[in-house]
């Protein structure tokens, strides 16, 4: 049974072949039982799979894909903080309508909506006509269930994680106590049995101390194997994944100051992002375009992750040192040295990732993968960059099917969309045009 399931695990892409095989074998009575067990195995396995990937995760993914670039749950960004959004809105239908097409909803003259619009300086919210009710509900559920992860927001304070540890410690102690109780009771039981046997004159075998008792040893071994196996597997899956990696950079460069407060377009520095594979890190001469003039930092105070205050002007001086520039004198760009930044986002060599494909052709927001870069002083890796994370996004994200002329060659899909064979709210996802096939990223 276990092996069947494992087999299915490996052969998942080819599952279509099994119905044929079952047809061929169905007359062979002696195989029927095996087959039943086998198919039950598949069903059990699949139900297991599906029950695992519940909607909570979808809600989170949908939130980060669609909302996170403008909204946070606990604070104002471009848009309002979303915590308690369901309670604020008079009814759910209005909220759904607003999320899908806020411009159309504004025209209904709804007071709450118009007030909100004016409060945020008439900044138009993006339209999400393709989100289904279920998806919006999943997002709202995610928002409702969301608990602030204190560590990520306030450097230094880690009360929330302590909570987590506490409860697991509690469970651990409880388990241990119960185990001791169970062990004592079993010993008591065996002693009592021995006593009663003695009394009745039943010849008893030589007592075996519990540490030599094979049943105990086997039990402990199995427990150790399961626990050890669980942590080994978990560790192995996490190998090479560096979510939240936030190295110290040679120059304290704040994306929050540049892209957030001063609203410099991402492309101004990351010029490759629209053209090719690499987004590219700006060269010294790009930095100097602005910093020839801007030679001191006058903004609000900035802090390192550890909470130490950073002297922005001194950091600019570090740039000048690399550029071999003395303020007030003409700058000879040929003298500049490159800055050795620490690379944060690393993909394995066998993965092909192209920024232009995602940002230019796919119109994916930078924040979808890099998080709220406009809020980060020091950049950290926002996602785990795992294959599961890539695939999940490819399954859920729609391509620019109608907007991009390239997709006009998918005539059948256009036809199916028109006559409703394909759910137009779901649309054409990346997966639908082969975006989860191996050689889209591995070649």
- Answer yes or no: are the C-beta atoms of 142 and 59 closer than 8 Å: yes
Question: Kind and range of the H or E element at 168?
Answer: helix 159-200
Q: Distance between CA 206 and CA 416 in Å, rounded? A: 78
Among 209, 328, 405, 420, binds other proteins (CB under 8 A): 405
Among 163, 166, 337, 423, binds other proteins (CB under 8 A): 337
Q: Does 55 bind other proteins (CB under 8 A)?
A: no
Q: Distance between CA 87 and CA 74 in Å, rounded? A: 15
Q: How far is the CB of 413 from other proteins (least distance, A)?
A: 6
Q: How far is the CB of 333 from other proteins (least distance, A)?
A: 5
Among 235, 330, 388, 420, binds other proteins (CB under 8 A): 235
| Helix, coil or strand: residue 124 | coil
Q: Does 339 bind other proteins (CB under 8 A)?
A: yes
The stretch among 15-23, 135-143, 202-210, 218-226 that binds other proteins (CB under 8 A) is: 15-23
Q: Does 272 bind other proteins (CB under 8 A)?
A: yes
Q: Distance between CA 392 and CA 325 in Å, rounded? A: 47
The residue (of 183 and 406) whose beta carbon lies closer to other proteins is: 406
Q: Does 403 bind other proteins (CB under 8 A)?
A: yes
The stretch among 90-98, 142-150, 254-262, 337-345 that binds other proteins (CB under 8 A) is: 337-345
Q: How far is the CB of 338 from other proteins (least distance, A)?
A: 4
The residue (of 280 and 365) whose beta carbon lies closer to other proteins is: 280
Pull the structure tokens for residue 119. Answer: 């409060």
Q: Nearest to residue 353, comparing CAs of 237, 433, 267, 435?
A: 435
Q: Does 338 bind other proteins (CB under 8 A)?
A: yes
The stretch among 64-72, 148-156, 256-264, 349-357 that binds other proteins (CB under 8 A) is: 349-357
The stretch among 105-113, 156-164, 283-291, 368-376 that binds other proteins (CB under 8 A) is: 283-291
Q: Does 267 bind other proteins (CB under 8 A)?
A: no
Q: How far is the CB of 104 from other proteins (least distance, A)?
A: 27
Q: Does 221 bind other proteins (CB under 8 A)?
A: no
> CA 115 from chain center: how many Å?
34
| Vertex 323 angle, CA 319 and 327, to 5° | 80
Q: Nearest to residue 146, comparing CAs of 62, 56, 66?
A: 56
User: Which own/partner contact pairs does 362-365 have at CB distance under 8 Å and 24+ positions apart?
Assistant: 362/397, 362/399, 362/400, 362/430, 363/400, 363/403, 364/397, 365/69
Q: Nearest to residue 59, comparing CAs of 130, 109, 131, 127?
A: 131
Q: Distance between CA 440 and CA 395 in Å, rounded? A: 14
Q: Does 130 bind other proteins (CB under 8 A)?
A: no
Q: Residue 308 — φ and ψ, nearest 5°?
A: -80, 145
Q: Distance between CA 71 and CA 63 in Å, rounded? A: 9
Q: Distance between CA 381 and CA 358 in Å, rounded? A: 18
- Answer yes or no: are the C-beta atoms of 381 and 246 closer than 8 Å: yes
The residue (of 159 and 235) whose beta carbon lies closer to other proteins is: 235
Q: Does 343 bind other proteins (CB under 8 A)?
A: yes
Among 340, 388, 419, 420, binds other proteins (CB under 8 A): 340
The stretch among 55-63, 101-109, 232-240, 366-374 that binds other proteins (CB under 8 A) is: 232-240
Q: Does 424 bind other proteins (CB under 8 A)?
A: no
Q: Does 11 bind other proteins (CB under 8 A)?
A: yes
- Answer yes or no: are the C-beta atoms of 380 and 249 closer than 8 Å: no
Q: What is the DSSP letter of 248?
A: P
Q: How far is the CB of 336 from other proteins (least distance, A)?
A: 4
Positions that interact with other proteins (CB under 8 A) = 10-14, 16-17, 20, 232, 235-236, 239-240, 242, 245, 247, 271-272, 275-278, 280-286, 333-334, 336-343, 346, 348-350, 352, 354, 356-357, 360-361, 403-410, 412-413, 433-434, 437-440, 442-443
């Amino acid at each position: 049974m276990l092996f069947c399931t494992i087999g299915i695990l490996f052969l998942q892409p080819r599952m279509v072949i099994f119905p044929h095989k079952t047809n061929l074998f169905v007359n062979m009575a002696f195989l029927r039982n095996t087959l039943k067990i086998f198919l039950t195995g598949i069903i059990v396995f699949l139900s297991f799979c599906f029950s695992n990937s519940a909607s909570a995760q979808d809600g989170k993914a949908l939130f980060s894909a669609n909302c996170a670039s403008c909204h946070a749950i606990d604070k104002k960004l471009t848009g309002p903080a979303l915590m308690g959004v369901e309670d604020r809105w008079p009814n759910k239908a209005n909220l759904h309508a607003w999320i899908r097409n806020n411009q159309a909803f504004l025209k209904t003259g709804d007071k709450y909506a118009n007030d909100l619009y004016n409060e945020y300086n008439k900044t138009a919210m993006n339209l999400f006509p393709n989100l289904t009710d279920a998806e919006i509900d999943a997002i709202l559920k995610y928002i409702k269930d969301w608990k602030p992860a204190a560590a990520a927001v306030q450097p230094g304070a880690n009360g929330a994680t302590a909570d987590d540890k506490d409860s697991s410690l509690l469970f651990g102690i409880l388990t241990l106590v119960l185990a001791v109780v169970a062990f004592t009771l079993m010993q008591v039981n065996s002693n009592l049995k021995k006593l009663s046997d003695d009394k009745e004159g039943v010849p008893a075998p030589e007592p075996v101390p519990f540490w030599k008792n094979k049943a105990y040893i086997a039990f402990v071994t199995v427990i150790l194997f399961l626990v050890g196996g669980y942590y080994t597997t978990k560790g192995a899956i996490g190998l090479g994944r560096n979510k939240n990696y936030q190295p110290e950079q040679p120059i304290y460069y704040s994306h929050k100051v540049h892209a957030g407060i001063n609203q410099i377009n991402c492309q101004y520095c990351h010029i490759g992002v629209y053209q090719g594979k690499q987004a590219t890190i700006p060269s010294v001469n790009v930095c100097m375009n602005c910093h020839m003039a801007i030679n001191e930092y006058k903004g609000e105070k900035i802090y390192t992750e550890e909470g130490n205050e950073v002297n922005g002007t001194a950091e600019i001086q570090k740039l000048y040192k690399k550029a071999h520039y003395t303020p007030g004198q003409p700058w000879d760009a040929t003298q500049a040295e490159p800055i050795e930044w620490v690379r944060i986002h690393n993909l394995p060599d066998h993965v092909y990732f192209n920024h232009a494909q995602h940002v230019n052709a796919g119109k994916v927001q930078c924040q979808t993968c890099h998080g709220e870069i406009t809020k980060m002083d020091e950049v950290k890796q926002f996602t785990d960059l795992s294959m599961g994370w890539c695939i999940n996004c490819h399954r859920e994200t729609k391509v620019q099917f109608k907007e991009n002329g390239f997709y006009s060659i998918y005539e059948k899909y256009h036809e199916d969309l028109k006559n409703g064979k394909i759910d137009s709210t779901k649309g054409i996802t990346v997966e639908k045009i082969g975006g989860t096939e191996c050689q889209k990223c591995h070649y």
